[in-house]
Amino acid sequence: MSVPVLQSTISFGGVSFDPLVWSEPLMWVVLAAFLGSAVVSRYDRERARLVAVAGWVAFGAFWLVLIPHFTLTQKSLIEGVGSLAAVPLSVWAGYQLYQGRDSLFVLTRAVGLMGLVYVPFLTIGPLRQALVESVTDQTAFLLSLFGFDPLVVDGFSYQGIEITEKPYPYESTFWFEGNSRPITYNILLACTGMGSISIFAGAILAVDAPWRRRLRALALTVSVIYVLNLFRNVFIAVSFGYQRMQILPGLIMTVFGIEDPQMVSYYVADRILAQTGSVVVLVGITYFLVRELPEITVLVEDLLYLVTGTEYDLAAAFDAGTESEDVATPGDD
């Protein structure tokens, strides 16, 4: 197996394990299975079903090996819980598809397209560098508009001081003068918004709707996510770099298992506030898409069914809501 760009080795009981090393081949298996099933379904639906089911099982294994990475290395409660929940949900989706829930072919195709959008940025160095450095420059520009002007540096060290947790030597690190040591905030691929963009891009492109409406929804969604992500980076850079979020430092250090008090602002700003806000924004964007691209309800309904076990008819619910808005009420002119 190849060594990933960013390593995440975890040691327990004398045994070392790097989730990212194992997740990479599983990622390719999932991508091949989901996209392959979309192609095969044009000619042989039952064979495509078996390929897709295998892909969902592999998808569950993919999230299983990433649980230690998100919980122990990234110390992200939201991502950790999400990856943990994704394991049984993936297997359950495969089982439901095997049992004949054909609407899950759309979700299968959507996840494959999500990977098709995201994986090039993950695996092609020049493409990833161009995106990361562009987002860094735009974040720096916004910081300057708000009256902040931190230094942006490249490499793995600056002035003889190592830049921690930096996976590639791009010009993508904001350098702040801290208290006990300089504070560095690295813009990574995860900070570009490409993950969220790929999720919605895959969903929009997978549904059966006129291309004009799909492209309009895609343009609006990508624009909103990209701009909001830049402001997210600004918020974290200011909060962390200038130590604006030193809230309950003792408790935060204990909960997240950190030793440097300067990291408290980062974990409060990113792991708690920014990630929670991102979930709210993604729900809001989903609501917008359901209104603007009703065909996407098949994906939302399937996801709700997988989570709750209850069937939903969102199209009827939104139609009813629209009709009620048109009904005059007492006092209307």
pLDDT (tens digit, 9 = 90+) per residue, 137-171? 999 999 999 999 889 999 998 888 888 888 899 99
Residue 201 lies in a domain: yes
Q: Are 80 and 67 in contact (CB under 8 A)?
A: yes
CB burial of residue 91 (10 Å; 0-12, 13-18, 19+)? middle
Same-domain check for residues 14 and 62: yes
Which of 273 and 182 is assigned the larger pLDDT?
273
Query: Does position 288 have pLDDT exceeding 70, yes or no?
Result: yes
Write out the residue range of the structural domain in which residue 96 sits. Answer: 8-102
Residues 93 and 238 in one domain: no
Per-residue pLDDT, averaged over 186-192, amounts to: 93
Pair 288, 190 in one domain: yes
Claim to verify: residue 83 and residue 157 sit in the same structural domain? no
- Cα(28)–Cα(129) distance, integer angstroms: 22
- In a shared domain, residues 146 and 271: yes
Backbone torsion region of residue 128, taken as left when φ is above 0, otherwise alpha when ψ lies between -120 and 50, otherwise beta: alpha
Does the model's pTM come out above 0.85?
yes
Domain match, 129 and 98 both: no
The answer as to whether 112 is a domain residue is no
Q: What is the pLDDT, as a whole number, of residue 326?
A: 43
> Which carries the bigger pLDDT value, residue 164 or residue 95?
95
Residue 63 near residue 25 (C-beta atoms within 8 A): no
Inform me whether the pLDDT recorded for 245 exceeds 80.
Answer: yes
pLDDT value for 105: 95
**Residue-level pLDDT at 330:** 41
Confidence of residue 95 (pLDDT cuts 50, 70, 90): very high
**pLDDT tens per residue across span 258-268:** 888 999 999 99
12 lies in a domain? yes
**Taking a C-beta distance cutoff of 8 angstroms, is the pair 143, 176 a contact?**
no
- Number of domains observed in the structure of the chain: 2
The reply to whether 162 and 203 lie within a common domain is: yes
Choose the most confident range, by mean pLDDT, from 63-77, 159-173, 192-206, 305-319. 192-206
Clarify whether residues 139 and 277 are in a common domain: yes
Burial class (CB in 10 A: 0-12, 13-18, 19+), 327: exposed
Across 9-23, 212-226, 233-247, least confident range: 9-23
Instruction: Check whether residue 45 and residue 179 sit in a common domain.
Output: no
Can you spell out the DSSP letters for 208-270?
-S-HHHHHHHHHHHHHHHHHHHHHHHHHHHHHHHTT----SHHHHHHHHT---GGGHHHIIII
Check pLDDT > 50 for residue 3: no
Catalytic positions: 191, 232
Q: Which token pair is 34?
A: 């989901």
The CA-to-CA distance between both ends of the chain, in Å, stands at 70
Instruction: Let me know whether 156 and 302 are in one domain.
Output: yes
Please give the average per-residue pLDDT across 172-195, as a whole number: 89
Evaluate whether residue 108 is within a structural domain.
no
Q: Distance between CA atoms of 66 and 79, rounded to whole angstroms?
A: 10
Average pLDDT over residues 259-280: 92
Say if CB 243 and CB 262 are below 8 A apart. yes
In a domain, 267, yes or no: yes
**Residue with token string 């990977």:** 115
Averaged pLDDT score across all residues of the chain: 87
Residue 120's alpha-carbon distances to 125, 263, 328, in angstroms, are: 9, 32, 52
224 occurs within a structural domain: yes
Q: Are residues 253 and 313 in the same domain?
A: yes
Q: Quick one: average pLDDT of 19-47?
A: 90
pLDDT given at position 8: 53
- Write down the pLDDT at residue 171: 94
Contacts of 315 (CB under 8 A, 6+ apart): 294, 297
